[in-house]
Amino acid sequence: MNCLQNLPRSSSVLSSQSFRIQSAIQPCFVNMTTIHYEKWLMNATDLRRNCLVKGTPSSTSSIEMEGAKESEEKSDVYSTNMTEAMGAVLTYRHELGMNYDFITPDLIVGSCLQTPADVDKLRSIGVKTIYCLQQNSDLEYFSVDIGAIREYASTFSDIQHLRAEIRDFDAFDMRLRLPYVVSKLHKAVNRNGGITYIHCTAGLGRAPATALAYMFWVQGYKLQDAITLLLSKRPCFPKVDAIKSATADILTGLKRKPVTLTWKGDECSTVEISGLDIGWGQEGRYEYKYVVDGNWVTNNNELLTPANKDGQINNYIQVSDNDPESVSSALWERLGADDFDLTTNERDVIRQFLDDCPDDE
């Protein structure tokens, strides 16, 4: 299954009602019924059968049912938001418990741990490193007690729980954070060995993207080969463009270029610029809008996007090196190719960056 990339939903002060990204793709429908869900459903069927035979529900069943209903409602909302933000029809059912897939024999991508008991499940299959990419707000939404999970994991000498936060549904935050996140992962794998479990909330965006970058930068896969393998093991929607951009950022030394935007007009008192991505100095394409005296407007003297399905139009800027002979220009041109791969020297540069990258960004 091949899924095209889409721009992220606003994660800044911009409201989704007033500023939406132009969707350049049709939805990509994904079947999220993995073998681990099937096992859960089989167990659930057996459990219901046993309940019918053994007796009536306990007095706490109504409380449990209310909790299950609340979890289902939160899953519905999260799935809707994820589909809107990712540009693909994706579903996450938190109430079904942790689900995961082996991408390679030593690399697993999955959904979040929900209780300390999930640590035991992962230890039983040989996991040595649990790598959580969730922010605290993600954990709080589904009432996950990360403190209890980490405390329980710390009682064992054969498994380590690590965290490195990436903002959900935000491709630009992914681009900025990915080099440091993969560096921490790389060092943990070298230290702990064994199987590594990478997870975000649903295991459909941040976790597969991190695994993909690790396979590409560290394990020596060609990018397209890594994508094909990943999607053959787990239906998901990694932001490939963010990985390509992060690759260019490392190889160009996080090179920045000044950007100047101008609003011409005397009949206003305040002019602000708000965009989906902060850090426009790095190469790439960025959308934004002007806020003039509190009103959201576009500048007709600058580049405009086509109207999206809600009729919204944004300004955009393409930040690039003007010198066609420069290293960064040539690299960005190569990044656009379907068969893009790193040279031996580029792989050495990236691995050195990952080795030297400080643990605290």
Give the Cα-Cα-Cα angle 50, 118, 30 (nearest 5 degrees). 85
Measured CA to CA in angstroms, residue 26 lies from 3, 20, 83, 130 at distances of: 10, 16, 12, 34
Could you say which of 3, 112, 132, 200 is catalytic?
Answer: 200
> From CA 238, how far away is CA 222, in angstroms rounded?
16
Bridge partners of residue 160, in order along the sequence: 129
Domain coordinates of the chain in residue numbers? 89-246, 271-319
Scanning the chain, the segments in alpha helix (DSSP H) are 35-54, 61-86, 117-124, 136-141, 146-153, 171-192, 206-217, 223-233, 240-251, 327-335, 344-356
How crowded is residue 292: how many other Cβ atoms within 10 Å of its Cβ?
Answer: 17
Domain 89-246 has CATH 3.40.630.30: no
- In angstroms, the Cα distances linking 108 to 112, 115, 194 are 12, 18, 11
Q: How does pLDDT run along the chain (361 residues), one tens digit per residue?
A: 333 233 333 333 333 333 333 333 233 333 333 334 333 333 433 433 333 333 334 445 666 667 678 999 999 999 999 998 888 899 999 999 999 999 999 999 999 999 999 999 999 999 999 999 999 999 999 999 999 999 999 999 999 999 999 999 988 889 999 999 999 999 999 999 999 999 999 999 999 999 999 999 999 999 999 999 999 999 999 999 899 989 999 998 866 677 788 888 878 899 988 765 545 556 667 788 899 998 989 999 999 988 877 788 888 887 776 666 666 778 878 887 878 899 999 999 999 999 999 876 5
Contact yes or no for 136/164 (Cβ under 8 A)? no
> Phi and psi (nearest 5°) for 56?
-90, 160
Query: Which tokens in the block code for residue 274?
Result: 């708000």
Exposed, middle or buried by CB within 10 Å (0-12, 13-18, 19+), for 21? buried
Residue partners of 99: CB distance under 8 A and separation at least 6: 34, 36, 37, 40, 110, 111, 203
CATH superfamily of the 271-319 domain: Immunoglobulins (2.60.40.10)
Q: Do the domains 89-246 and 271-319 sit in the same CATH topology, yes or no?
A: no
Q: Could you tell me if residue 293 is left (phi over 0), alpha (psi between -120 and 50 degrees) or otherwise beta?
A: left
Annotated catalytic residue 268: no
